[in-house]
Structure 1
Amino acid sequence: MTTEPDIDSTAAKLRHLLTSRLVGDGWLHSPQWRAAVEAVPRHEFVRRFYRESDSPGLTTWTPVTAELVGVEEWLRQAYTDDTLITQFDGREIDWSDPQPISNAHPTSSSTLPALVVRMLEELQVQDGMTVLEIGTGTGYSTALMCHRLGAERVSSIETDPDVADRARDALDRCGYAPRLIVRDGLAGDSEGAPYDRTIATCGVRHVPRPWVQQTRPGGLILATLRGWMRSLGLVRLTVDRTGRAEGRFIADDPSFMIARQQEAPLNLGMIPAPDDGTTRSTPHGPGLLGMPDSGFVAQLAMPGARFFSMPTHDGTPGTYVIDATNGSFAVLTPKGDGEWTVRQGGLITLWDEFEQSLAVWHTAGSPPPTAFGVTVTPQRQCVWLGSPGGPNWRLPTATQAPADTA
């Protein structure tokens, strides 16, 4: 006869191990946040979840519950430093008969604890401060903030009612009662403003103006800027008395899903005809788009673009870069000896924009994303290199704008 482990004591031991790992890996520093991670039972926020399998081929996620894998294994996985998926394609999962899932898009999760605690440390909170969280998700990070600051000082917005209901139930089970709001998180929360800190657990293409307006002068906004090709990185902005917010990237490529209101169009755009555009040689191939630092530059230079590979009309391997917002395109094909041919057309010559930005970046010594910063004003949002007066690129806001490297 097997005896089920005691959930509370087993979970407490696993939380201790997780905390020690986060401290040892350099993610967790302050005693206040360490106490929060030790206290908040993550397993209550991920009673049922999916994890990406290690099998080769098509990405597949497998379900995990106490009933499916046993209590001890469920708890062990709940306290790994991994992202645990709780929703796909904006639809609720049928947990009456959970099956492996492939060819799906995760839309809600419990983010890996290392990233959660890093963001909370970077938020630089102090006792007595108020925080607005954009993206409640499972509620785990909300609970950590409640433990650190007191639930009465935490407000959290979730756009998905089903996700919000699950988070509310989990927070209730853990004894936390923050202010929970179900609405478009990009609009913020004017009722509870001004906030000392605003933190977003989703990626955004630009910083929504209400976040700046609802953060007090001297307050901080912590958010992940990203595009349709890739993430740009985690940025921390300080709000001043004129409504301007400015700061630097403090980490590159955090793995947050983009806000649903800013997701890319389903249509990738029109495939150009074989005789569309003008053709020239280029030393810069499509591999630069997927590399960490040059990919960052590509996202700045081509904010509305996406890329994919498929054979061209004559069977030659090709990489298509298409901006569905304005019909611009660039098609790259191998020429040999490290050279490429690019055919481009439309409103913006995309590959020209990328090469110009690449040249600016190389001239500066090819620095990492942390050499870049962001300025947000009511009229304009841009990413700059080195200092606010240096080379800059506009972020796409309500109106699409081409890159500006002047």
Structure 2
Amino acid sequence: MDWEEHAARLADEVTDRVSRWREPVAAVPRHELVPRWWQQVAGEWVLRDGPCDLEAWLAAAYCDTSLVTSIGALHADHALGDEKPTGLPTSSATLPSLVVRFLRHARLTQGLDLLDLGTGAGGLAAYAAQRLGSRHVTSVDVDPYLTDAAAGRLARMGLYPQFFAMDATRAIPGTYDRIIATVALEPGRGLVPVLRALRPGGRLVTTLANTSLILTAWKAENGGAVGQVERDWAGFMKTRHSTDYTPGPDALLAHARQAEGDEVTAGRYPVLDVSAAWELRSMLEVTTPGVELHYEENGRRRTACLVHTDGSWARATAEWLAPPEVHQGGPRRLWNELERIRNRLNAEGQLPLYGSRLEITPDGVCHLSRGKWTASLGV
């Protein structure tokens, strides 16, 4: 299979001409990392088999896009052709431009040891091993199949980084000069093993769960880390403790979809898909951690639901851009909190998240500050 020209074209697309990551991207046969994947068609996940359609395989593998490889506990490699899995995506081959951005954020140079937290399909480990050498790259994932599959596929490319299957939110083997997490970490206890695995003066690159915030930080003498929220953004799947996520608040969400609530008001702003409005979603997680979201459109009718494990919920419904009818219940008014954030965005033209200063304490609490604004996550 003539894949080299496709990889070279991808490298042209996702790296600069003088980038040190240009050659690794061009040298990795990405199609070998994703022989099968899931594609969403009309709201359903449809299995794609690369060897059965070589042209589509090359087009997908060498396009700058993410390819979902697992839905729930079902990996595409193990699926039957007519299976229709349900649940959340649990693994993917991350779009190459984002992988390169994270590698650049890590400030990697020769001789440094890198931990790739979240093996997925193995793309970041492959690029890093091409440039740094296999012995300087370690990759971990909670799903043993992902680490086994990536190890075998990289070995066929002549790349031999170390792979470990484990829950990195509980323990990480060894210590490293650089840690890149391509899963979204929970602030607080979820960051503690990562900080412990980072060598003095080492650098961490990660996102936080339920946000698009990219944190870059240098290990501090007190065991914490100091850095910033980059003026850049990314969305990754949250860490999990097994091959699938634990069930979400489905009962409360079902209640939110139809309940009258304790309070019915008119909203100020149009209904939107908050999960796709990354800056709003990030600020909501900062002000009200743990909110789960649901959004749907039925013709011109839009409905958004917000729920929290404390029993709070909100439902906003409207025809297209009209002011919504908002139903809310529980101890907190979640839609009111979202509208306060939207008020601030409209009044100031921006939110203070991107570019803020970051301090991570040894117990994983993330303190953000920008001007007079401060916030803490993971308290």
Structure 1 residue 366 displacement after superposition:
1.8
Aligned residue pair count: 368
| 1:35 to partner: Cα distance | 1.7
Q: Output the TM-score relative to the length of structure 2.
A: 0.83
**Structure 1 residue 52 corresponds to structure 2 residue 39:** yes
Q: Which moved more, 1:300-309 or 1:208-217?
A: 300-309
Which of 54, 63, 69 is residue 86 of structure 1 equivalent to? 69
Call closer, same or farther: CA 1:188–1:250 in 2, change over 3 Å: farther
Within the alignment, does 1:350 sit opposite 2:334 as a pair? Answer: yes
Q: Out of 297, 301, 306, which is 1:321 matched to?
A: 306
Deviations 1:245-271 (A, max 9, x none): 233232555242221239574233432
Of residues 168, 185, 194, the one that matches 1:204 is 185
Aligned-residue offset at 1:380: 6.1
Query: How much has 1:63 moved relative to structure 2?
Result: 0.9
Conserved? CA contact 2:356–2:370, under 8 Å: yes
Separation of aligned partners in 2, 1:359 and 1:369 = 15
Shift of 1:170: 0.8
**Percent identity at matched positions?**
26
Q: Which amino acid aligns with 1:234?
A: I
- Tell me whether 1:260 sits opposite 2:260 in the alignment: no
Counterpart code for 2:27: A
Mapped partners of 1:108, 1:201: distance in 2 = 10
Partner amino acid, structure 1, of 2:355: A
Q: CA deviation at 1:162?
A: 1.2
In 2: Cα distance, 1:138 partner to 1:253 partner: 21
Structure 1 SS opposite 2:272: helix
Cα deviation per residue 1:122-146 (whole Å; 9 max; x = unaligned)?
Answer: 1111111111111112222112111
Whether the 8 Å CA contact 1:160–1:182 is kept in 2: the answer is yes
Alignment of 1:221-260 (within 5 A): 221-227=204-210, 231-250=211-230, 252-260=232-240
The answer (yes or no) to whether the contact 2:270–2:323 under 8 Å persists in 1 is: yes
Determine the C-alpha separation between the residues in 2 that align with 1:41 and 1:365: 43
Give the CA deviation at 1:336: 12
Whether 2:355 is the aligned partner of 1:371: answer: yes
Q: CA deviation at 1:106?
A: 2.3
Partner Cα separation in structure 2 for residue 58 and residue 335 of structure 1: 22
Question: 1:341/1:173 Cα in 2 relative to 1: closer, same or farther (>3 Å)?
Answer: same
Shift of 1:183: 0.6
Q: Is the 8 A contact 1:236 1:249 kept in 2?
A: yes
Per-residue CA deviation, residues 33-88 of structure 1 (Å, 9 max, x unaligned), is: 11211222222222x222525x5x3243341222x113x54334322222222222
Displacement after TM superposition at 1:309 (Å): 5.5
RMSD between aligned alpha carbons? Answer: 3.3
Per the alignment, do residues 251 and 105 of structure 1 end up closer, same or farther by CA in structure 2, a change over 3 Å counting?
Answer: farther
Opposite residue 5 of structure 2, the aligned amino acid is K
Q: Which segment is superposed worse, 269-278 or 157-166?
A: 269-278
Match of 1:158 among 141, 151, 159: 141
**Alpha-carbon distance between aligned partners in 2 of 1:259 and 1:121, rounded to the nearest angstrom:** 22
